Amino acid sequence: MRSAGGQVFLWRAGVLVAGLALWEAVARPLNPVLYVAPSRLPAALARVLDVRELPALPGHVWLTVQEIAAAFALAVAAGLWLGFLLGLKPRVGRVYEPLLAALYAIPSVVWYPSLMLFFGLGPASKIAFGFLLGFFPIALAVLAGIRQVPAHLVTVAVSMGARPRTVFWKVALPAMSATLVGGLRAGLALSVVGVLVGEILGARSGLGYVINYAYGLLMTGEYVVLVVLVAAAVLLIDGLAALAEARVRRWAG
Amino acid sequence: MTAAGRPAGFLTVLALQALSVAVVVGAWEAAVRGGLADPLFIPAPSAVARALVATGAEALPRLADTLFKTLLGYALAAGLGIAAGLAIGSRRLVHQVAMPYVVALYGIPKILVLPWIALTFGIGLGTAVLTGALFALFPIVLMIAAAARDVDPTLITVARSMGATRWQMARKVLLPAVLPSALAGMRVGMVFALLGVLLAEMFAGIRGMGFMMQRMALAFRAPELFAATAIVSALSIAVVLGLQHLDRRLGRWR
């Protein structure tokens, strides 16, 4: 008899194979420009790596990575700053947190044309958009995290003579760390999305630009390869973030 | 805080919020007039207000257009999402097998597929609606699946022992039990559908608010762009608040 876990694993693999087979079966008889069957992807991958028609990939990938890093770093700095500013002063937080939540409810893409107008088509507008998307979940996670810190623990620590620094590192941070790290992970995912959206909506360089370029020239095989690679990279980044999140959760107990 | 003190506190908060917004708008106006900000990039609030009046007639039909596509995309996503969510959440094996895929699809930036959708479905309603549906689908599936999995098992056992068919089970037991989180998922789904539609309009040049905003940005018509941004923002905040209100009323009815 097979174990339950093994059975689930087999089912998962089966779903993946069935999905690919279905994709192949649907795409094969249809227009090959629009419907790229998976069996054509290896050849397209070779063409992407060979780089004759497409812009050289490494430079564009490196630019996108830099944009994401800059956007996320800014989002972390600003999100932590504003989150702690509002969270540690409950009166201020009561006034401004609803405003922050209302801004978060607006579909983020409405800000992009204004950012494009202000920062131009270069990397700055992508960094600004990635920053804006990553900022909100981080700030809101800090606010939610601070609310989770049990007030009596802080009172006990202070009454036993702990200094504010000690209270922060030994009491507050462990209590709020799970929420905080969850917010950082969501912020990273959204910074990545923001940079990619910016590059696809209009850019002269970067990974999104190459994707758009391939699609614009109807090099759809290359386009699908690039999309699959980027999607895999995004999932990998989020997977690493999930591992970090699990470690922090263990540390906080 | 006393019960009597709460409404007064609420009003104070509201007044402070209004005051803060007024201060920001005033400072912004002063900064532009004082030459601290270039009106070519950052128009004064008064210029935005004038543009709002001037472009209102042009913007309203476009706004209605965008909203219509959003509702279509949302309806599509809700129908598919609720069915898939219930199917995934109500059976253990299906949940275990399907969940990694759903989470992965949820995590992949949907923008990557947008060029293909635009190429396949053209510059029109289909592309915008499908993009809206694609953005809204996965949050709805995740919320419904999580809710369906957490349904009290005794409810299911009782219904089954009383001879409920699968259809009756879904309609009479699962659906009412998942309703609260379903509504929360729907609220998120609505915002995502609007986001997808705006994005498709911007990307593929499909009539609607997204296209209008993109065109104004490229033409350096900053006051009109800010006015259009304000209109869409106000609309989406109104939609979210409206759905929240609906949530609370349905909660009371339950």
Using pLDDT thresholds of 50, 70 and 90, give the confidence band for residue B181. Answer: confident
Residues 6 or more apart in contact with residue A253 via CB below 8 angstroms: A174
**Best of B28, B70, B108 to disrupt the A interface by mutation (most A CBs within 10 Å)?**
B108
Tell whether A34 lies on the interface with B, counting CB pairs under 8 A: yes
- What average pLDDT is seen over chain A? 87
Tell whether B35 lies on the interface with A, counting CB pairs under 8 A: no
Question: Chain A window 138-177: which residues touch B at a Cβ cutoff of 8 Å?
Answer: none
- Helix and strand numbers, DSSP H then E, in chain B: 10, 0
* Of A50 and B44, the one with more pLDDT: B44
What's the pLDDT score for residue B131? 95
Q: And the tokens for A180?
A: 């905080």
Using pLDDT thresholds of 50, 70 and 90, give the confidence band for residue A235. Answer: very high
What is the average pLDDT across B84-105?
87
Tell whether A106 lies on the interface with B, counting CB pairs under 8 A: yes
A68-77, A101-110, B158-167, B181-190, range with greatest mean pLDDT = A68-77
Sign of CA dihedral B210, B212, B217, B218: positive
List the single residue in B108, B112, B195 with the smallest CB-CB distance to A109.
B195
Angle between helices B92-107 and B45-89 (to 10 degrees): 150
Is the pLDDT at B169 greater than 90? The verdict is: no
Minimal Cα–Cα distance from A166 to chain B, Å?
Answer: 30
**Amino acid identity at B127:** T
Using pLDDT thresholds of 50, 70 and 90, give the confidence band for residue B2. Answer: very low
pLDDT, tens digit, for every residue of A194-212?
Answer: 999 999 988 888 888 888 8
List the single residue in A112, A118, A231 with the smallest CB-CB distance to B112.
A231
- Residue A248: Cβ-neighbour burial (10 angstroms; 0-12, 13-18, 19+): middle
Q: Distance between CA B198 and CA B231 in Å, rounded? A: 13
SS (H, E, C) A15-83: HHHHHHHHHHHHHCCCCCCCCCCHHHHHHHHHHHHHCCCCCCHHHHHHHHHHHHHHHHHHHHHHHHHHH
Which residues in chain B are contacts of A192 at CB distance < 8 A? 109
What's the pLDDT score for residue A2? 53
Tell whether A238 lies on the interface with B, counting CB pairs under 8 A: yes
Closest CA to A13 of B100, B103, B66, B30: B100
B166, B88 in Cβ contact below 8 A?
no
Q: Distance between CA A12 and CA A6 in Å, rounded? A: 10
What's the pLDDT score for residue A194? 93
Q: Distance between CA A68 and CA A199 in Å, rounded? A: 11
What's the pLDDT score for residue B253? 59
Element (H, E) at B208: none
Q: Distance between CA B254 and CA B249 in Å, rounded? A: 9
Which chain A residue's Cα is nearest to B11? A95
Lowest-confidence segment of A75-89, A223-237, B239-253 by average pLDDT: B239-253
Q: Distance between CA A58 and CA A207 in Å, rounded? A: 9
Closest CA to A239 of A194, A202, A185: A185
Tell whether B23 lies on the interface with A, counting CB pairs under 8 A: no
The interface predicted TM-score of the complex, written ipTM, equals 0.86
Q: Distance between CA B193 and CA B73 in Å, rounded? A: 6
Closest CA to B66 of B12, B114, B125: B125
pLDDT, tens digit, for every residue of A126-184?
Answer: 999 999 999 999 999 999 898 888 888 888 888 888 888 888 888 888 888 888 999 99
CA distance to A108, A187, B27, B98, per residue, from A85 (Å): 23, 18, 21, 41
Residues 6 or more apart in contact with residue A211 via CB below 8 angstroms: A199, A200, A223, A226, A227, A230, B112, B115
What's the pLDDT score for residue A73? 97
Percent of chain B with pLDDT over 70: 95
Tell whether A11 lies on the interface with B, counting CB pairs under 8 A: yes
What is the average pLDDT across A24-47?
84
Q: Phi and psi dihedrals of A151, rounded to 5? A: -60, -35
Question: Chain A window 197-216: which residues touch B at a Cβ cutoff of 8 Å?
Answer: 197, 200-201, 208, 211-212, 215
Tell whether B186 lies on the interface with A, counting CB pairs under 8 A: no
Tell whether B115 lies on the interface with A, counting CB pairs under 8 A: yes
Residue B110 has a CB neighbour count (10 Å cut-off) of: 21
Burial readout B164-174 (b: 16 or more C-beta within 10 A, e: otherwise) = beeeebbeebb
What's the pLDDT score for residue A199? 92
Minimal Cα–Cα distance from B91 to chain A, Å?
Answer: 13
Using pLDDT thresholds of 50, 70 and 90, give the confidence band for residue A58. Answer: confident
What's the pLDDT score for residue A3? 63
Q: Distance between CA B250 and CA B254 in Å, rounded? A: 6
Tell whether B119 lies on the interface with A, counting CB pairs under 8 A: yes
SS3 A3: coil
Using pLDDT thresholds of 50, 70 and 90, give the confidence band for residue B254. Answer: low
Q: Distance between CA A90 and CA A103 in Å, rounded? A: 20
- Helix and strand numbers, DSSP H then E, in chain A: 11, 0
What is the average pLDDT across B51-78?
90
Q: Is B198 in contact with A114 (Cβ distance < 8 A)?
A: no
List the single residue in A16, A94, A200 with the smallest CB-CB distance to B114.
A200
List the single residue in B109, B199, B220 with the smallest CB-CB distance to A234.
B109
